Amino acid sequence: MEGGCIFCDIISGRLPAVKLYEDSYVVVFLDICPASPGHALVVPKYHAESLEDLPEAYRSRLLSTVARVAPAILRAVGGEAYNVLINNGRPAGQEIMHVHLHIVPRRTGDGCKTLYCRRTKPGWEELKALGERIRAAMRAS
């Protein structure tokens, strides 16, 4: 999907990016607006908006690529840990509509709150009822 998708243009080489790793399924490059030094994006070489639309061969490569690349990123930037994040869909914060996974290096006390949101404390019965609704939705699909 060249000419309409920034990440497809990076994959094809029409747009520049600082690439860290590449194989026939994925490319990993540095985010231009990093949440922390070394913030990288793992991008499948297949244009799909969401995780559900991605063929399984590409989807499974996302996580195995994290395990391959993240330790080297941490060594290079002196990171101690990292968050893995997919913003799947616009209400979840997805801005580039080509599915991708973020690796965000972290250090103790860095103040970065990539996964911060206000938590609730539902009762056990409420959790059980919700669980039944989700299992029913899975059976129906």
Which positions are catalytic? 100
Alpha helices in 1-141 (DSSP H): 6-12, 56-77, 124-140
**39, 61, 98, 102: which one contacts Zn ion (CB under 5 A)?**
98
Neighbours of 91 (CB within 10 A): 7
The distance of closest approach from Cβ of residue 7 to Zn ion in the complex, given in angstroms and rounded to an integer, is 5
Q: By rule CB under 6 A, what count of residues binds ligand 5GP? A: 13
Which residues touch 124 (CB under 8 Å, ≥6 apart)? none
127 binding partner (options Zn ion, ligand 5GP, none; Cβ < 5 to 8 Å by kind): none
> Quick check: 95 binds ligand 5GP (CB under 6 A)?
yes
Stretch that binds Zn ion, among 35-43, 64-72, 95-103, 106-114 (CB under 5 A): 95-103
The verdict on 102 binding Zn ion (CB under 5 A) reads no
Cβ-Cβ contacts under 8 Å for 104 (sequence gap 6 or more): 35, 36, 39, 82, 83, 84, 85, 112, 114
Question: Least distance to Zn ion from the beta carbon of 118, Å?
Answer: 33
